[in-house]
Structure 1
């Protein structure tokens, strides 16, 4: 009777109504089971996003999905529990170990898919070399991790080297270089809770430094890099730009993707890195792109 009353109040004729409209009304009317946060259309949009992420080698883990759902709920203005704001997540429960699609090996199928996507982007929007950028991150330890060779007396069996007593820390560095050889100032990420000016002493002009505790790129910091990238490349909606980057989960930030869309930036993911001996790739696959980028693949 409650459902019938709900249909009557909404002036819905069940004999002619759209199935999605009926499902939405039932979802809003029912009080059984766990309270839902998203409606049917929002759930479909989230599912479509997750599947698309998997197709471009950005498989999302369970914990990443929880964070993504929180960001999505904020973006669409959905009503969600207050603890989500404190945790910036769905819950504090430890996620089970799950396999991630980005653990797929670097193989011919993935490489073919990447170059098909690249060809599709360049076919729709021809880009000059200075509008094609490659971004990557690297770790810079504050103490040497590998001793360098030194000159010593011939025949001496042991050669000592004075090293720092400290263990050192790792500072992440994100850079972007265009196909024409231009580069943007470096983006440093320090393993500190609070950022201090002294960290950037003698840094190159235009360099930016942020701190997030871990010193590694995440979905909260990547939008800051995107703003840094946009500022120094002049990317805008009237001048298309392509940014090539690896398939790290932090690059799936909704805020970062919105920034890219607003400034005419196409994000294109490289295939996952290989962890086993790779078969030689057909040179013909790379031939159409000769001169645009240097391709290097190691076993």
Structure 2
């Protein structure tokens, strides 16, 4: 269009050339300024210019990356406030939902999505420096013991809580009434501990049932190799975690010796850290590598790609069991036979291999955790609200801000005011001296780390004694 206008003004187009290309009236309207040159669609002109809409689009995208995105209704409220601030619209003329859908069509990078819940503890802990330090320590261990060429010797352990009161899956039903699904009601929690290696081989499940003594029938329908234990709450503890590695996992580990040890990765919950377990692991050539706290959604293979499908399949299996059993509620005696089938169907070799690849463990790739995945952690850093740049989906440094023009445009001023409040209201997280901080992203079978653990436990014991 611009090229045609230039040719028209300079008289380069003959009458024959003018006819089939662009209508003369269209060119005249743009030359005289009746219609903006960038307008390529018939109908009323857009309220915002392309640059103004680009700033709004990038601001919405940046806020979503930080974990504080706008809903459709909030976007409808944001846009007219933006227009009023720019002097383009009166407050008496609100925007409609149609404007939002048209806006999304013009900017296909934006989509209406259901966000994944992210706990504040995960936001605070999953920082860029924590992730990078984890991969740095992991690279040392994998290079030292040649794990990059031995995927069969890299294992991950993770726990999953199973509730007998399942969440019903979506079903096909009539459209004229409210759909209902029968559930078991009162729930019990049973823990399943799973494991697998980077080659895709799974370890049979290990169940933790609530109760004092084992009751016959709890393992009815169990798959080959599955076993169980009991705890008061149905959750794992230090004794159970130690027993699982020594008595269950150890049986399925490949041959290993001092020159070719086995690497076991798991999260740093306090119940997983035991001096006795660490010393036993060192004697048996097992390297225990503790992942950073509250980072399992990024670094724990089974949590990233296996337990999501497992939970979906568990809910569907429980729903089917209720129907096929004639409405009999699910108890702890039904959990094992249902869960073992689900475990075998979801912890498949392909799923486990994808899990290790997504976490950057095998093949080793420290770049898999992108900056956008850890962007929410920046809202808890000790930085000012001016560090959010509404015209970029990333976070800018203070040096970049100094190089910007001293006077902000109306668009940037408004969007920074809208989005910058989250950084003014959120305080920097207080650093706590916990055991998980000591072992995070480190091989706890290392002599130096083991000494740090012992020192921490002794210091905590002295603190507790002084309180008494």
TM-score (norm 1): 0.56
Alpha-carbon displacement from aligned partner over 1:114-154 (angstroms, at most 9, x marks no partner)? 1111011012111200000111110111221x222222122
1:162 aligns with: 182
Alignment partner of 1:189 is 2:205: no
2:290 aligns with: 269
How do 1:1-299 residues align onto structure 2 when only pairs under 5 Å count?
Answer: 105-127=125-147, 128-144=150-166, 146-154=167-175, 156-164=176-184, 166-227=185-246, 228-234=248-254, 236-238=256-258, 239-273=260-294, 291-292=363-364
2:445 aligns with: none
Is this contact kept in 1: 2:161–2:192, CA < 8 A? Answer: yes
Deviation of the 1:219 alpha carbon? 0.7
- Quick one: distance in 2 between partners of 1:287 and 1:191? 32
Decide which moves more: 209-218 or 249-258. 249-258
| Structure whose CA Rg is larger | 2
- Quick one: distance in 1 between partners of 2:273 and 2:135? 20
Gapped regions of structure 1 (runs ≥ 5): 1-100, 277-285
Is this contact kept in 2: 1:222–1:256, CA < 8 A? Answer: no
| 2:160 counterpart SS class | strand
Is this contact kept in 1: 2:161–2:190, CA < 8 A? Answer: yes
Deviation of the 1:293 alpha carbon? 7.7
Deviation of the 1:103 alpha carbon? 9.9
Change (3 A) 1:131 1:253: same
Gapped regions of structure 2 (runs ≥ 5): 1-120, 298-357, 375-468
- Quick one: distance in 2 between partners of 1:222 and 1:174? 9
- Quick one: distance in 1 between partners of 2:208 and 2:362? 34
Between 1 and 2, higher relative CO (CA 8 Å, sep ≥ 6) is seen in: 2
| 1:151 counterpart SS class | coil
- Quick one: distance in 2 between partners of 1:130 and 1:147? 37
| 1:186 counterpart SS class | strand
Deviation of the 1:210 alpha carbon? 0.2
- Quick one: distance in 1 between partners of 2:224 and 2:365? 27
- Quick one: distance in 2 between partners of 1:185 and 1:191? 20
| 1:198 counterpart SS class | coil
Is this contact kept in 1: 2:195–2:203, CA < 8 A? Answer: yes
Is this contact kept in 2: 1:242–1:268, CA < 8 A? Answer: yes
- Quick one: distance in 2 between partners of 1:107 and 1:287? 15
- Quick one: distance in 1 between partners of 2:205 and 2:151? 20
Higher relative helix content: 2
Change (3 A) 1:118 1:174: same
- Quick one: distance in 2 between partners of 1:172 and 1:222? 12
Aligned residues: 187
- Quick one: distance in 1 between partners of 2:122 and 2:171? 41
Deviation of the 1:174 alpha carbon? 0.8
Change (3 A) 1:196 1:137: same
Is this contact kept in 1: 2:210–2:234, CA < 8 A? Answer: yes
